[in-house]
């Protein structure tokens, strides 16, 4: 088989590079933070289009899982990263060539680019032959590389680049610098004066002393004096510079297109795994989820909000993991309980999991089975929008209407405290109306709400609640557990703490 893409099984399903806009639900689910973190430091690869494009077929997702698992092997990761690092250098040198002014200088850097490229490809082929690959993607890629390095095109590039470098490296010249002028000629065996000075004072050596070497800036520039010297040197050694000129013309386009694309696409995996590694250091786990576009049983254990985990990465604060499980015919998780208890985080997490799974990435958690959605819809209450209540309610309903119009049974819906700013009676009524439609669509849904009754409307809904520490109700556990909603439990425990329960007040008042 021929190698085409490390991201897709067949090339027809490739990605439009212009997909530079994040899906609408990104900011509600904090996926924007996650993807920004993953792709930060890798801007030159323009990876976001890959992360903005969910997959809808399980086979491609498993194709990526295979590659991702291979990439989790340190030996393989090292091999690919070595390629990437060298390719960065190649691109930087080629970019330099475009910007430089003097011909011998341009040709010089072009040769360096070719040399690094040859080394990168040769090393890659060697390293790949030593690693144990399992994924279809990387196996095909290895085959491609093996053929490529044996090609005449690559072999002659390799040989000539080294030959030209060799003859240039032998060039030696002398510059005599005087005030306002200089002379250039060939080197003629003159002795090293620094060595003589060092030898003279050798006897005083007393162990380590300060290093006074100036570090000339490594910027690859050439001023007109250096250019003039190089010009003189080229006149002193005409054949050597002619060979360089011929090389530059002949190999002007040496970079292989397939390799170039691979170098970019594979960064999708590297970026994700590097990000996951940082999270794993906090003791959290990732797993490769089972995905299905038909089976609506979804579950995950010990999973967490990846954006939150990232935010708490360098803080001494544990990340609380949660579980969920929807079995037939359950479709809707109604999350209620005390505020600031992790309800919104839980809702986001469920959305994140499904989205990350649709990219073919490992997801937070010990194990997971997730649904291959066609679309994700979110509606999060935004506190700052409450200037015009009536207008806002209208807005909300318009948006929900739109969602319900576009949603299919394969969509996922995440609602967070909608109708919070309307009257309770309205909120209950509207919520019941909406949830009925959601149930009718049979879509997966997480609904964060203060309206308890929603959780027991039908066999399609389950109730999960945020919890508190029984001894100190003011402390949240950030655990969301499956149990019947009971808004009073929390209020009662707080009251008890302040000795304000019914019994307590009676007792206190009786004295």
Partner 1 sequence: MKVFLMYPDRDFEPGQELPSNVETLKQDLELNTLFTAMAQGNEFLFTVAEQALFTSLDSPEEIRYRQEILKDCLRHPDVVRQIYRIPIQAIENKKKHWMGILTNYPTGILSGAREMLEMFVDLLRTLKQIADEHAGGFESSGFRRFFAMIQQELDDVYFALVSKHLKTLKFRSGVLISGELGRGNEGTNYVLRKANPKDQNWVKQVIGRRSPVYSYTLHPRDDHGARALGELRDRGLNLVANAVAQSADHINSFFNALRLELAFYIGCLNLYEQLTQLGEPISFPKPLDAGRRQLSFVGLYDVTLALTMKQKVGGNDVNADHKDLVIITGANQGGKTTFLRSLGLAQLMMQCGMFVPAESYSANLCNRLFTHYKREEDATMTSGKLDEELSRMSFIVEQLAPNSMVLFNESFAATNEREGSEIARQITCALLEKRIQVFFVTHLYEFAHNLYERKMKNALFLRAERKADGERTFKIIEGEPLQTSYGLDVYHEIFEKDREIQEIGRQNEGPN
Task: Candidates 191, 252, 340, 510: give the one binding partner 1 (CB under 8 A).
Answer: 191
Give yes or no for residue 173 binding partner 1 (CB under 8 A): yes
**Cα–Cα distance measured from residue 293 to residue 371, given in angstroms and rounded to the nearest whole number:** 6
Would you say 61 and 357 are in contact if contact means Cβ atoms under 8 Å apart?
yes
Residue closer to partner 1, measured from CB, 67 or 222: 222
For residue 408, what are the CA distances in angstroms to 53, 404, 437? Answer: 19, 8, 11
Give yes or no for residue 163 binding partner 1 (CB under 8 A): no
Range in contact with partner 1 (rule: CB under 8 A) among 214-222, 284-292, 385-393, 456-464:
214-222
Range in contact with partner 1 (rule: CB under 8 A) among 36-44, 62-70, 102-110, 268-276:
102-110
Give yes or no for residue 99 binding partner 1 (CB under 8 A): no
What radius of gyration, in Å, describes the C-alpha atoms of the chain?
32
Give yes or no for residue 223 binding partner 1 (CB under 8 A): yes
Closest CA to 168 of 251, 70, 236, 99: 236
Closest approach of Cβ 189 to partner 1, in Å? Answer: 7
Range in contact with partner 1 (rule: CB under 8 A) among 131-139, 145-153, 204-212, 407-415:
204-212
Give yes or no for residue 196 binding partner 1 (CB under 8 A): yes
Range in contact with partner 1 (rule: CB under 8 A) among 210-218, 355-363, 374-382, 417-425:
210-218
Residue closer to partner 1, measured from CB, 109 or 144: 109
Pairing verdict, β 332-336 and 322-326? unpaired
Task: Candidates 5, 39, 79, 107: give the one binding partner 1 (CB under 8 A).
Answer: 107
Query: For residue 510, how many other CB atoms are within 10 A of its CB?
Result: 6
**Cα–Cα distance measured from residue 316 to residue 338, given in angstroms and rounded to the nearest whole number:** 24
Closest CA to 220 of 370, 306, 95: 95
Residue closer to partner 1, measured from CB, 108 or 289: 108
Closest approach of Cβ 195 to partner 1, in Å? Answer: 8
Closest approach of Cβ 194 to partner 1, in Å? Answer: 4
**Cα–Cα distance measured from residue 339 to residue 465, given in angstroms and rounded to the nearest whole number:** 10
Total residues contacting partner 1 by CB under 8 A comes to: 65
At residue 503's C-alpha, the angle toward residues 499 and 507, to 5°, is 80
Query: For residue 76, how many other CB atoms are within 10 A of its CB?
Result: 22
x/- mask, partner 1, residues 229-268, rule CB under 8 A, reads xx-xx-xx-------x------------------------
**Cα–Cα distance measured from residue 8 to residue 69, given in angstroms and rounded to the nearest whole number:** 16
Residue closer to partner 1, measured from CB, 244 or 306: 244
Exposed/middle/buried for residue 79 (C-beta within 10 Å: 0-12, 13-18, 19+): buried
Residues engaged in binding partner 1 (CB under 8 A):
93, 96, 104-105, 107-109, 111-112, 168-169, 171-178, 180-194, 196-198, 200-201, 203-207, 209-214, 216, 220, 222-226, 228-230, 232-233, 235-236, 244
């Amino acid at each position: 088989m021929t190698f085409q893409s490390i991201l897709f099984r067949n090339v027809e399903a490739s990605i439009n590079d212009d997909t530079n806009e994040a899906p609408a639900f990104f900011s509600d689910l904090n996926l924007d933070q996650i993807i920004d973190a993953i792709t930060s430091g890798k801007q030159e690869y323009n990876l976001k289009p890959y992360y903005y494009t969910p997959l809808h077929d399980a086979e491609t997702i498993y194709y990526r899982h295979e590659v991702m698992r291979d990439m989790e092997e340190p030996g393989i990761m090292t091999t690919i990263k070595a390629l990437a690092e060298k390719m960065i250098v190649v691109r930087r040198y080629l970019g330099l060539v475009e910007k430089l002014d003097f011909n011998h200088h341009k040709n010089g850097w072009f040769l360096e680019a070719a040399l690094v490229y040859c080394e990168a490809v040769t090393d890659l082929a060697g390293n790949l032959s030593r690693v144990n690959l399992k994924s279809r993607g990387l196996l095909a890629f290895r085959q491609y590389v093996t053929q490529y390095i044996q090609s005449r095109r690559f072999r002659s590039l390799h040989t000539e680049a080294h030959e030209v470098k060799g003859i240039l490296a032998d060039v030696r010249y002398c510059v005599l610098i005087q005030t306002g002028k200089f002379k250039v000629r060939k080197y003629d065996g003159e002795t090293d004066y620094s060595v003589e000075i060092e030898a003279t004072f050798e006897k005083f050596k007393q162990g380590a002393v300060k290093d006074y070497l100036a570090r000339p800036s490594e910027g690859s520039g050439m001023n007109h004096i250096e250019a003039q010297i190089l010009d003189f040197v080229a006149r002193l050694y005409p054949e050597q510079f002619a060979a360089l000129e011929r090389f530059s013309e002949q190999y002007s386009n040496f970079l292989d297109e397939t390799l170039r694309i691979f170098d970019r696409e594979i960064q999708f995996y590297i970026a994700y795994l590097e990000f996951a590694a940082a999270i794993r250091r906090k003791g959290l786990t990732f797993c490769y989820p089972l995905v299905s576009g038909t089976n609506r049983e979804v579950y995950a254990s010990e999973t967490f909000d990846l954006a939150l985990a990232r935010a708490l990465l360098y803080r001494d604060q544990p990340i609380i993991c949660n579980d969920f499980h929807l079995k037939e015919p359950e479709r809707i998780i109604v999350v209620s309980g005390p505020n600031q208890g992790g309800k919104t985080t839980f809702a986001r997490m469920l959305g994140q999991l499904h989205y990350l799974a649709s990219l073919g990435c490992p997801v937070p958690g010990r194990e997971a089975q997730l649904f291959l959605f066609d679309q994700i819809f979110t509606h999060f209450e935004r506190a700052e929008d409450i200037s015009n209540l009536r207008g806002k309610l209208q807005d909300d309903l318009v948006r929900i209407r739109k969602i319900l119009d576009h949603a299919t049974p394969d969509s996922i819906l995440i609602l967070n405290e909608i109708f919070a700013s309307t009257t309770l009676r309205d909120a209950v009524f509207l919520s019941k109306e909406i949830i009925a439609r959601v149930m009718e669509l049979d879509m997966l849904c997480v609904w964060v709400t203060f309206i308890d009754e929603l959780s027991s409307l039908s066999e399609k809904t389950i109730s999960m609640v945020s919890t508190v520490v029984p001894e100190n109700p003011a402390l949240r556990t950030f655990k969301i557990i499956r149990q019947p909603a009971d808004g009073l439990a929390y209020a009662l425990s707080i009251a008890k703490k302040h000795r304000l329960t019914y019994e307590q007040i009676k007792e206190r008042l009786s004295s």
